[in-house]
């Protein structure tokens, strides 16, 4: 079950996680002696038979038999894959995932993160080369240092700038399609020739980075007028909108002693 992650690492992740905090963030827990209890989130009940033990770092339901560690809870409650649950908890605890854990999912196959990183640099270079886009950034009150910290870029006013640069071969094209950077033309009705075009055009580009700093998607704001005003990457193998918090990586990098953090939606 544990795949290629050493058992010692899994034990450390569990040991360094606070199961009361993990479960308490999702299920209202009541203190009961040295343990905590709640109505079980995994079966329907009126009186609590779901117990969480901070000492033993596991949960147990006397009603339905649900039982496990914080890893098991995330898998059962959040429907996470084992590796995602371990990764999530390891990141919270500030633990680096061992190389073996990156196993078959990241190794082999195309380097999608690498491609996204190259695309981000392509946009950055375009911003540096485009006076109109740079002027827009300045007009919005973003200085050069902030723009660099957030790796802002510019998607050229073109239907195929990215397509030509990153997808001349069919295999590359398939990858950037999978990454949501190009769109396949709708040929129903037969009016248009088959083909692809760039999703982001004439937009100020904000790379969306995961908590490890890897580019996984983009948000694009139209320069001047156009619809839609904001356009984001679709869900892709790398980008899952509901799991990311834009700016988290950058905030960590700043290593500032924040007295207050404001988190906004929208
Ligand atoms: Zn239960």
Can the peptide bond before residue 75 be classed as cis, meaning omega within 30 degrees of 0?
no
Which two tokens mark 247?
């700016």
What is the model's pTM?
0.62
The pLDDT tens digits for 152-181 are 999 999 999 999 999 999 999 999 999 999
Expressed in angstroms and rounded, the spacing between residue 42 Cα and the centre of ligand 1 is 5
- Using the mean position of ligand 1's atoms as its centre, give its distance from the Cα of residue 10 in Å: 25
Residues bordering ligand 1, an ion, CB closer than 5 Å? 40, 42-43, 61, 63-64, 66
Residue with structure tokens 């993990």? 22
- The rounded Å distance from CA 12 to ligand 1 centre is 27
Q: How far is the CA of 44 from the centre of ligand 1 (A)?
A: 7
- Give the tens place of pLDDT for each residue, 48-96: 999 999 999 999 999 999 999 999 999 888 877 788 899 889 988 888 8
For the chain, the helix, strand and coil percentages under 3-state DSSP, each to the nearest 5: 40, 15, 45
Helix (H, G, I), strand (E, B) or coil at 153: strand
Q: How far is the CA of 91 from the centre of ligand 1 (A)?
A: 28
Distance 89 CA to ligand 1 centre (A): 23
| 157 contact partners, CB below 8 Å, separation of at least 6 | 201, 202
Distance separating alpha carbons of residues 74 and 59, to the nearest angstrom? 12
């Amino acid at each position: 079950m544990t795949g290629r992650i050493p058992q010692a690492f899994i034990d450390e992740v569990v040991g360094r996680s606070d199961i009361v905090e993990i479960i308490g963030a999702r299920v209202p827990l009541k203190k009961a002696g040295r343990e905590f209890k709640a109505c079980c989130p995994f079966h329907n009940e009126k009186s609590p038979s779901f117990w969480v033990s901070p000492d033993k770092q596991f949960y147990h339901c006397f009603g339905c038999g649900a039982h496990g560690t914080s890893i098991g809870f995330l898998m059962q409650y959040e429907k996470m894959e084992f590796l995602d649950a371990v990764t999530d908890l390891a990141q919270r605890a500030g633990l680096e995932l061992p190389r073996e854990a990156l196993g078959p999912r990241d190794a082999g196959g195309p380097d999608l993160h690498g491609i996204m990183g190259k695309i981000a640099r392509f946009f950055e270079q375009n911003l540096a080369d485009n006076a109109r886009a740079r002027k827009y950034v300045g007009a919005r009150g973003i200085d050069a240092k902030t723009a660099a910290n957030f790796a802002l870029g510019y998607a050229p006013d073109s239907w195929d700038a990215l397509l030509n640069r990153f997808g001349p071969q069919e295999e590359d094209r398939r990858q950037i399609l999978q990454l949501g950077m190009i769109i396949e033309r709708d040929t129903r009705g037969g009016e248009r020739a088959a083909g692809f075009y760039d999703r982001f055009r004439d937009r100020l580009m904000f790379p969306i980075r995961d908590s490890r700093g890897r580019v996984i998607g983009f948000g694009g704001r139209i320069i001047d007028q156009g619809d839609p005003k904001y356009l984001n990457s679709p869900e892709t193998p790398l980008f899952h909108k509901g799991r990311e918090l834009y700016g988290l990586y950058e905030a960590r990098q700043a290593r500032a002693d924040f007295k207050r953090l404001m988190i906004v939606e929208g």
